[in-house]
Amino acid sequence: MTETITDIPASVRENQRMIADMVRDFSEKEIRPNIMEWDEKQEIPMSLFKKLGELGLMGVLVPHEYGGSGFGYHEYITAIAELSKVDPSVGLSMAAHNSLCTGHIMQFGNEEQKRKYLPKLATAEWIGAWGLTEPNTGSDAGNMRTVAEKDGDHYVLNGAKNFITNGKSGDVAVVIARTGEVGDSHGMTAFIIEKGTPGFTPGRKENKLGMRGSETAELFFDNCRVPEENILGQVGDGFIQSLKVLDGGRISIAALSLGVAEGAYLASVQYAKERQQFNQPISKFQAISFKLADMATKIEAARLLTHQAGELKNQGRKVTQASAMAKYYASEIAVENANEAVQIFGGYGFTKDYPVEKFYRDAKLCTIGEGTSEIQKLVISREILK
């Protein structure tokens, strides 16, 4: 079993309170009035992420020396959850930028790469994307078909990636391509590829059920020449790096899920107090109050699992099992709470006039992104059976 982490330093708790207050204030002014417009247009303006960059939220984990906020995972989890309580689409795009593209460069880049890219990413001067998933492989990354062949002091990439957050609007992407044999875990390499590189083009944007404001697109590589200096780490280390990046990515999705679950719950509490039936608020009915009790309890359990994984990550310890548990449980209760919220709202929960309809659609992505719930159970079982 993973070791239970219970104590968060007082200074970190103060940081969390500060970030939560800041994000709530920002969200009420800049996000809440635009939620349904962005959802229907399937687009969040890039100007919003520039503003998040000014607040330090696009480089939460990046050290000060590279232009970031220099915080740890407790503060990061708080920021994602608070954004996602209002609009999960914003939380998703912010999390992908931070934990995947920026996180990969921060964890495996050399000093020159860090100084070149991290300051731009941390301030949202540049938006980052991360390319691992492919149309025909999904979670079977070992069989990826995007290849990179050495040609002098460059590598030439050919292939495609899909389901890439920030794929169309991103200024830079970390892309994993096969440089060895199919199925060889040491046969893939990570490359930093800037927007505008010849042969590197975005494809269509997906028309999604939920998280519609968060951009999900294809990436195409047609004889795309990338210099050797843009390789992250060593040739052949891309897949191993990706597994470590995904350990942190699962914490991000757990935090996103936590925000969805809490957003649906808070809307339900407010509605249950205001909605009158049989001359009393529906919160007085045991059927409703018990639902709220279940929702609140599951949120606290998810919060503890997520922050436990975050603390292990802060300590530089192995986080595979803890992050998979957090992601698995939090994403499942996000779906459960959103479903219960629609039930509490009744017919109104099925309309776009109330927020729970969107939480219901958005929640399902949480059980799919960064690996399905079934994959998380596979990861957990492998860890506990070692």
Q: Among all residues, which ones are annotated catalytic?
A: 370
Tokens for 77?
């989890």
Cβ-in-10-Å burial (0-12, 13-18, 19+) of 4 comes to exposed
Amino acid at 295: M
Are 58 and 52 spatial neighbours (Cβ–Cβ below 8 Å)? yes
Q: What are the φ/ψ torsions at residue 69 (nearest 5 degrees)? A: -85, -20
Contacts of 131 (CB under 8 A, 6+ apart): 161, 164, 167, 173, 174, 175, 176, 219
